[in-house]
Chains A and B, each alone.
Chain A
Amino acid sequence: MRLVFGRAIGLTFGAFLAAALGPGAAKVLAADEAPPGPAEKQEQPNPPRQEWSFYGLFGGYDQAQLQRGFQVYHEVCSNCHSLELVAFRNLADPGGPGFTEAQVKALAATYKIKDGPNDAGEMFERPGRPSDYFPWNFANVQAATAALGAAPPDMSLLAKARTYERGFPLFLIDPIIQYQEQGADYIDALLNGYTNDNDLNWNKYFPGHKITMPKPLSDGLVDYADGSPKTVPQYAKDVSAFLMWAAEPKLEERKRLGLRVLIFLAVYALLVFAVKKKIWSRSKVKAGLDLP
């Protein structure tokens, strides 16, 4: 429902803008919705725009999707990628995947966390607690680089740290239609972009096409419990949404508060404008200029 509403508002804005700018703009908006054609001047095509539950004025995360996305991260991505800014406890935070405290506690306990030194001056390993942060499978960047050929980027901010050029004039329309999901679209496209079966390091959307990470996902790799399709596009979409949450965990709180702030300011502006009209209607009298 929220999604439909947000989209409707976005489209209304878009249509209004298109009407204001003439047929040229309308064409541009249509092109914006369509999947990108073959790359012409660019080295790689732009990622297609996806529908996200967190898009728009009323956007928020889809809990089931975040839980599936976490499962993909947990079972696949986390073998190589770190998530160092996210703590186990965050999985139970409001506006997130909505795991229960008990689930988080159980999950954390499956991890071994290095702690110490203890009273004897020794480092030791203990089971994870909800307040711990996701540990990385590698000791350091050098170890990961040696094992994998390149250091896999930390995933905590990935959805905000990746983007693509929208170009003129789309970049002027983006703040009006509130398009902020370039990062999620890019990650989703990248995960679907391994289209060369002969070269698992070739990616349609990666700058330069040669990517060190070989095709990470395949159909049936992750066993969803909720009956969602076990396909690469579904995995890609779910994990992209999860990474958007990891990068912007306060998105729902922000959009909720924003709506209230905007409504308040709109009403307040009208009131102040009425007062302004009233006061300024006296201005001609004040100067002795109230002639008929």
Chain B
Amino acid sequence: MRAESTYVPKSRLAKWLESRLPVGGLIHSSFVVFPNPRNLNYWWTFGGILSFMLAAQIVTGVVLAMHYTPQSSLAFASIEHIMRDVNYGWLLRYAHANGASMFFLALYIHMFRGMYYGSYKAPREVLWLFGVILFLLAIATAFTGYVLPWGQMSFWGATVITSLFSAIPWVGDSITTWLWGGYAVDNATLNRFFSLHYLLPFMIAGVVVLHIWALHVHGSNNPAGVEKKTAKDTLPFHPYFTVKDGFALVCFLAFFAWFVFYVPNYLSNADNYIEANPLLTPVHIVPEWYYLPFYAILRSIPSKLGGTAAMFAAVVIIAFLPWLDTSKVKSAAYRPLYQIFFWLFVACAVLLGYMGSQPPEGGYVIAARVLTVYYFLYFLVILPLLGRFEKPRPLPPTICDAVLGKRGQAAAADANPLQAHEPGQ
């Protein structure tokens, strides 16, 4: 059910361009008349929010790069130069640093929404895979970015995470040296991380285009999890979803602004206001909050190689969801058992994050291990079995029925022609 391009260029310039590059038609069919399921709720607005945040990060980042010095003895001072001497430099930097957190917050909500409503299932597996690639790229981008201020946590975080590669048998040490560009995290590491941090966001932007392309083949999934069948199930993207996404974005920006203007250092670590010192290890090395669940998984396995493997597996396993979840029913709204296990999984992820922020000792380690077991059980055992044994509730025949209930069915039977009911007649 793809939108046919009904775009008719009006001006002479638009006609001239359209006959040479039909970009107007592409935009019109993708973002104006594109038929979206009419029942999309506010959890579906985070895709638009993420696009906005990516653009905001690129804009603030490009300007920050104009004032930043990627040199290990100057980097820390150049950040403070931005904070103190550059016009609105404090705003750019706080918006960029907190923007990364906001990006991940929106990303995690977006991912959990996809999991709750089964958005990864056929025919949207490729769309999901592009999403996992975006997640991996976002992780790499944020990690390289966090190193740039060259504070204590930048330096030691980079040391801990890059050292993980040394756990790989035979070639580990060589790989680590290659990543560092030397025998320790140093100026060469900072230089390449800066280069990558500038490169990766544009790769993200490229994959976002593929992500949206794949999305527009079958259109969005929806809370009912049944595919759109007739025009009654849908509403045009503009104005219905542009205004809904817009409202959600403004609310999200208010939340974002609260952090930028009033608690700009809440989400970061105080130790990162101390310049990197290779001779002084901080008492607790803690990554940014959005890595904490994976950090907890890393630390809960009592072997460096095992922990590293488990941490990477915890990210990569998300790519296999379309095949691990054997249920034909998409939306959790019609899967009573799945709903329970899903919310347990959300709680498990949040608690893993808390364990990751605590020192690796005593009860925290035991709790992290139990949670790690559930994390992997959810993907490898619960989801494959649930599809066989769960009895789903009856699905609504169409999206229209899901939205309007019995009244909608009566309406559908009535089958009024659409045109006769345009407003203003």
Contact = CB atoms under 8 A, between A and B. Distances in A.
Interface of A: 57, 85, 90, 153, 156-157, 160-163, 168, 174-175, 178, 180, 182-183, 207, 247, 249-250, 253-255, 257-259, 261-262, 265-266, 268-269, 272-273, 275-276, 279-280, 282-291
Given A161-B271, A287-B231, 5 more contacts: A261-B261, A265-B254, A280-B240, A288-B411, A288-B416
Given A279-B240, A285-B422, A288-B417, A183 B270 contact: yes
B346 interface: no
Given A269-B247, A285-B422, A85 B84 contact: yes
Contacts of A168: 354
Contacts of B240: 279-280, 283
Nearest to B246: A272
Contacts of A250: 83-84, 90
6 contacts: A162-B270, A258-B262, A266-B254, A279-B240, A288-B418, A288-B421
B418 A57 contact: no
Contacts of A285: 421-423
Contact of B262 (A178, A266, A272, A287): A178
Nearest to A177: B263
B178 interface: no
Which of A175, A253, A265, A287 gathers most chain B CB within 10 Å? A287
Contacts of B84: 85, 90, 249-250
Contact of B261 (A257, A279, A291): A257
Q: How large is the interface on B (under 10, 10 to 19, 20 to 34, 35 or more residues)?
A: 35 or more
A287 B410 CA distance: 13
Interface in B257-314: 257-266, 270-271, 273-274, 283
A84 B131 CA distance: 45
B157 interface: no
Nearest to A180: B263
Contact of B410 (A178, A268, A290, A291): A291
A262 B266 CA distance: 18
A153 B271 CA distance: 13
A249 B415 CA distance: 66
Given A269-B254, A287-B232, A57 B262 contact: yes
Contacts of B274: 153, 157, 161
B244 A276 contact: yes
Nearest to A274: B247
B197 interface: no
B91 A254 contact: yes
Contacts of B264: 180, 254
Given A168-B354, A272-B243, A286-B421, A258 B232 contact: no
A286 B33 CA distance: 13
Given A258-B261, A276-B243, A160 B273 contact: yes
Name B's interface SS: helix
Interface string B383-425: 0000000000000000010001001101100111110111100
B239 interface: yes
Interface of B: 38, 77, 80, 83-84, 90-91, 94, 231-232, 235, 239-240, 243-244, 246-247, 250-251, 253-254, 257-266, 270-271, 273-274, 283, 354, 400, 404, 407-408, 410-411, 414-418, 420-423
A57 B354 CA distance: 28
A111 to B, nearest CB: 20
Contact of A175 (B250, B263, B404): B263
Given A254-B91, A258-B262, A276-B247, A161 B239 contact: no
B265 A160 contact: yes
Contact of B250 (A265, A289, A290): A265
A145 B244 CA distance: 61
Contact of B257 (A161, A249, A265, A290): A265
Contacts of A283: 38, 235, 240
A247 B273 contact: yes
B408 to A, nearest CB: 7
A273 B247 contact: yes
A268 B250 contact: yes
A156 B416 CA distance: 72
Given A269-B254, A285-B423, A287-B400, A85 B408 contact: no
B80 A174 contact: no
A46 to B, nearest CB: 14
A265 B259 CA distance: 14
Contacts of A178: 262-263
B56 to A, nearest CB: 14
B263 A287 contact: no
A155 B148 CA distance: 22
B421 A174 contact: no
B270 A161 contact: yes
Contacts of B80: 85, 156-157
Nearest to B152: A161
A255 to B, nearest CB: 7
A175 B266 contact: yes
Nearest to A251: B90
Given A57-B262, A289-B408, A161 B254 contact: no
B354 A286 contact: no
B273 A161 contact: yes
Contact of B270 (A85, A160, A258, A259): A160
Contacts of A183: 270
A41 to B, nearest CB: 11
Contacts of A257: 91, 261
